[in-house]
Amino acid sequence: MGEGNFYITTPIFYVNDSPHIGHAYTTILADVLSRYHRLFGEETHFLTGTDEHGLKVQNAAQKRGVTPQEHCDQFVKRFQELWTRLGISNDDFIRTTEMRHKEVVTKVLQDLKDRDLIYQSEYEGWYCVPCERYFMEKDLVDGCCPDCHRPVQRLVEKNYFFRMSRYQQQLIDYINEHPDFIQPANRRTEILGFLRQPLGDLCISRAKSRLTWGIELPFDHDYVTYVWVDALVNYISAIGYLRDDAEFRKWWPVNYHLIGKDILTTHAVYWTTMLFALGLPQPKSIFAHGWWLIDDSKMSKSVGNVVSPMDMADKYGIDALRYYLMAQMTLGQDANFSELSFCLRFNADLANNLGNLLSRVVTMLHKNCGGRIPAAQPLTADENDLTAACRSAAAEMRAGVLNMQLDRGLASIMAALNAANRYFDTMKPWALAKEGRTQELERVLRNTGEALRLCAELLTPVMPSKMAQLRTLLGASDAPLCLAGTETEWFGLQDGAAVGQIETPLFPRIDLSPELKAQLNQMNQAAKAKK
Ligand code: MSP
Residue 164: how many other CB atoms lie within 10 Å: 22
**Residue 460 pLDDT greater than 70, yes or no:** yes
**Residue 272 pLDDT greater than 90, yes or no:** yes
Choose which residue among 14, 75, 257 to substitute to test ligand 1 binding: the one with the highest number of ligand atoms within 8 A of its C-beta: 14
Of all protein residues, whose CA lies closest to atom 24 belonging to ligand 1? 22
Share of the chain above pLDDT 90, in %: 82
Of all protein residues, whose CA lies closest to atom 19 belonging to ligand 1? 260
* CA 516 – ligand 1 centroid, Å: 29
* CA 434 – ligand 1 centroid, Å: 58
How many Å apart are CA 362 and CA 502, to the nearest integer? Answer: 8
Query: How would you label 294-320 residue by residue, b for 16+ Cβ within 10 Å and e otherwise?
Result: beeebbbeeeeebbebbebbeebbbbb
Three-class DSSP category at 400: helix
| Among the listed residues 249, 185, 258, 247, the one whose alpha carbon sits nearest the alpha carbon of residue 33 | 258
* CA 95 – ligand 1 centroid, Å: 16
* pTM of the complete model: 0.94
Residue 259 Cβ contacting ligand 1 at under 6 Å: yes
Residue 15 Cβ contacting ligand 1 at under 6 Å: no
Q: Residue 482's pLDDT is what?
A: 58
Cβ pair 134, 227 in contact under 8 A = no
Q: How far apart are the first and last CA of the chain?
A: 54
Cβ pair 500, 472 in contact under 8 A = yes
Segment (H or E) for 101: helix 99-114
Residue 167 Cβ contacting ligand 1 at under 6 Å: no
- What is the secondary structure of 284-309 as a DSSP string? S-EEEE--EEETTEE--TTTT----H
443 half-sphere exposure, CB direction, 13 A CA radius: 16
Percent helix, strand, coil in the chain, to 5, is 50, 15, 35
Q: Residue 487's pLDDT is what?
A: 44
Top pLDDT among 208 and 477 is at: 208
**Residue 499 pLDDT greater than 90, yes or no:** yes
Of all protein residues, whose CA lies closest to atom 6 belonging to ligand 1? 232
Residue 146: how many other CB atoms lie within 10 Å: 14
CA torsion, ordered 424, 427, 431, 437, to nearest 10 deg: -120
Tell me how many degrees the CA angle 10-11-17 measures, rounded to the nearest 5: 120
- Phi and psi at residue 221, in whole multiples of 5°? -75, -5
Q: Residue 1's pLDDT is what?
A: 36
* CA 28 – ligand 1 centroid, Å: 13
Share of the chain above pLDDT 70, in %: 97
Choose which residue among 17, 21, 23 to substitute to test ligand 1 binding: the one with the highest number of ligand atoms within 8 A of its C-beta: 23
Residue 103: how many other CB atoms lie within 10 Å: 14
Q: How far is CA 148 from the centre of its chain?
A: 26
How many Å apart are CA 155 and CA 456, to the nearest integer? Answer: 60
Residue 514: how many other CB atoms lie within 10 Å: 7
Choose which residue among 234, 262, 301 to substitute to test ligand 1 binding: the one with the highest number of ligand atoms within 8 A of its C-beta: 262
| Among the listed residues 162, 228, 168, 171, the one whose alpha carbon sits nearest the alpha carbon of residue 201 | 162
Taking residues 85-109, report their average pLDDT. 98
Taking residues 373-402, report their average pLDDT. 95
Q: Residue 2's pLDDT is what?
A: 40
**Residue 484 pLDDT greater than 50, yes or no:** no
Taking residues 393-417, report their average pLDDT. 96
Residue 298 Cβ contacting ligand 1 at under 6 Å: yes
How many Å apart are CA 498 and CA 491, to the nearest integer? Answer: 16
- 3-state SS string for 189-235: HHHHHHCCCCCCCEECEEECCCCCCCCEECCEEEEEECHHHHHHCHH
Q: Residue 307's pLDDT is what?
A: 77
Residue 277 Cβ contacting ligand 1 at under 6 Å: no
How many Å apart are CA 215 and CA 162, to the nearest integer? Answer: 16
Q: Give pLDDT tens digits for 30-67.
A: 999 999 999 888 999 999 999 999 999 999 999 999 99
Radius of gyration in angstroms for the set of CA atoms belonging to the chain, rounded to a whole number? 27
Residue 288 Cβ contacting ligand 1 at under 6 Å: no
Q: Residue 489's pLDDT is what?
A: 74
Of all protein residues, whose CA lies closest to atom 8 belonging to ligand 1? 13
Q: Residue 478's pLDDT is what?
A: 63
Taking residues 497-509, report their average pLDDT. 95
* CA 260 – ligand 1 centroid, Å: 6
Confidence of residue 480 (pLDDT cuts 50, 70, 90): low
How many Å apart are CA 188 and CA 12, to the nearest integer? Answer: 22
Q: Give pLDDT tens digits for 407-428.
A: 999 999 999 999 999 999 999 9
Confidence of residue 481 (pLDDT cuts 50, 70, 90): low
Residue 5 Cβ contacting ligand 1 at under 6 Å: no
DSSP state of 356: I
How many Å apart are CA 274 and CA 118, to the nearest integer? Answer: 11
Three-class DSSP category at 428: coil
Q: What separation in angstroms does the CA of 531 have from each of 344, 520, 527? A: 22, 17, 7
Q: Give pLDDT tens digits for 338-352.
A: 899 999 999 999 999
Q: Residue 333's pLDDT is what?
A: 93
For the CA of 290, the closest atom of ligand 1 is 28
Report the relative pairing of strands 256-260 and 286-289 from DSSP bridges. parallel
Residue 17 Cβ contacting ligand 1 at under 6 Å: yes
Of all protein residues, whose CA lies closest to atom 30 belonging to ligand 1? 22
Q: Residue 530's pLDDT is what?
A: 79
Residue 376: how many other CB atoms lie within 10 Å: 17
